[in-house]
Chain A
Amino acid sequence: MSIEVKAIDKTFGTFKALDQVSLKVATGELVALLGPSGSGKTTLLRIIAGLETADCGEIFFHGDDARGKMTKDRNVGFVFQHYALFRHMTVFENIAFGLRVKPKALRPSEKQIKEKVHELLKLVQLEWVASRFPSQLSGGQRQRIALARALAIEPKILLLDEPFGSLDAQVRKELRQWLRRFHDHLHITTLFVTHDQEEALEVADKIVVMNKGKIEQVGSPEDVYHNPASVFVLNFLGNVNIFHARSSAEHKSGEKPAKMYVRPHQLIVSRSPLSENSVKVVLTFVNLAGSIVKIDAQSQKGEIFQVEMSQEEYRALKLTKSDEVFLTPKNIAFSEYEI
């Protein structure tokens, strides 16, 4: 089912959580809402679920106006950040809840409920925990049970609020890939909220970058990473170096001071200047641990630069700390005039 929100506003007291937000999500897409805390991404998710009411704006599910519908009638699967599993119910009862509260005429029989719950437990690969209580599960297990519970009502839309936020690094990575495979298998329209750009880049079909209640950019992971629409998006999706220049080849409207933003791996390191844009720096720190080499460098003006290169390149250049070298931007990610 597709989702469309139009011109949503939401204010909490004096805090503007969402400011004229509009977004379209196509059927079957896996979309990440990415942004720092307070950017309004969770609020948007909750408004879509009906857990929060927008001050103004419209929401459509598959073209139908959803504003008049209560949460319970929206048939939206929601996975909460802290899972919100019912602590006094077993895992089985948690998953069965959505089926048991259906109106009598639509309620499945006890046998059907049992089958459905076991089918879902199988899907999340946790068949053996049916009779346990949520407090007896690990974080990753709770996460998967919360997902199974949300899927029990066969939602057409799945919303996940920071789904991996409270898990440790290892489990996070595993579940991330699992969610991707899982979505490829079920194809439910899915929106998830995250503040982790790596997570969004790795999992989503489409990324919505949010900041201060507004959408900064919508696009594929490659798109937002390589063609950022704003400095905010550029900064949020990875480290970036700033070059100050008098003139800019791209902007022909005369000589104005400009800023050029360059990703650490888009810098060429050389012993002699390659162009007029080359900057002379001293290497202050070299980190060899990892698949790539991370280098910190400082110019005579005191600007700090971060450079990344492969181990091979590093060895070929025979660099060591305190070397004087030149940095030349290979590819400018974004540029703007200084104000």
Chain B
Amino acid sequence: MRLLGKLGLAAAACLLWANSASADTTVKWLHIEANPAQVKIWEEVARAYEAGHPGVKVEMQFLENEAYKAKLPTILQSKDRPNIIYSWAGGVLKAQIEAGVLDDITESVKGYSDSLTPAALAAFTSNGKIYGLPTALSQVGFLCNKELMAKAKVDPSAIKTWDDLLAAVKTLKAAGVTPIVVGGADKWPLHFYWTHLAVRVGGKPAFDAALKGENGGFAGETFQKSGELFKQLVDLQPFQNGFLGFKNPQAVGYFGDGKAAMTLAISTVYHLQRALAADKVGLSEDKICWFDFPVVAGGKGAPTDTLGGITGWLVTKGSPREAVDFLKYFVSKDVQTRLAAGNFIIPVVQGADAGLNNSFMKLIAANLAKSNYHQNFYDQSLGPSVGRVVNDVTAEIAGGSMSPQDAAKAIEAAWKQGN
């Protein structure tokens, strides 16, 4: 009896709790943005939404990028999981859909979704169902420090081929400048090299064939070649001292401190470097240059092909309606225009790119518009565990502990193991 009574009490408490929860809905929003200037705008947007929707609270939670990726699988299994989570789409998203941890939001975004760039929306669509909203596009390429490049008399706009890059590295080294900074401890900044080389060497057909297991899959010629070319660069010791111990934020800060001539990075680093520089000022716009990832002699990829992200937000299973509602508000033309005007994002809402007011961001937007093959980051597009193997082996090539051939084989083996 007493037990029953206790159960009853517990049930009552549950109901009470549930009631109070519905009376005052909290939307928990987990993000990984390290740039305080951008987070500030998000905060304002959230507060504005709250003001217009009494009874709804938008709670922002932050996790550092690496911690987020390591923690996400367990976070999603928790009952108390956040409602809105960050996503790079791709195979990781696919795994999450299959696991049934996401809400199908097709119905709730009907009509509204027409305002989005179709390609970006497609990244968050699977079997005709929409699981999230894209928010920004990005391109991977080389950011460079004009002063340091000039000091070594290297003209960044003349770096067109992989051999040009290798030559530039040698010249920079000879001039006593650290050629490239990279956050090797996080591994994925290194995987950009290998992946982008694969994009240049094999183009879209090679990637599609590998997915189908044709031409030797990821152990095939294209991917071995990418590893070999990457090894050519690694052998020049182009990176800062101790690069395998640098986490990405440290590496970005290092670039912002003006200690290295180049960094292969996502276009958003253009701004992020200021927040992460030691003096919080970093490099001003007139001191930064940019060049697209060089082409490879005999490569099948088009020079306009791009590597980069299509990032967005997912809604987790069992989230309140307000979560989607807020997302629609957040990925709206107004907000996107505002973020574009701050040069934080290349927007995905049609027409919002009018807000872009800076030549660099306009250039990236134009590049993406020109691109016929925009390859998503491998560590995301190949799914959670294969993607991590790509990161592992590229770090191993960089560390000199694995040959390009073995690296390609390891990825293929992981791909075959599936998941």
Please determine whether chains A and B interact with each other in the same assembly. Answer: no
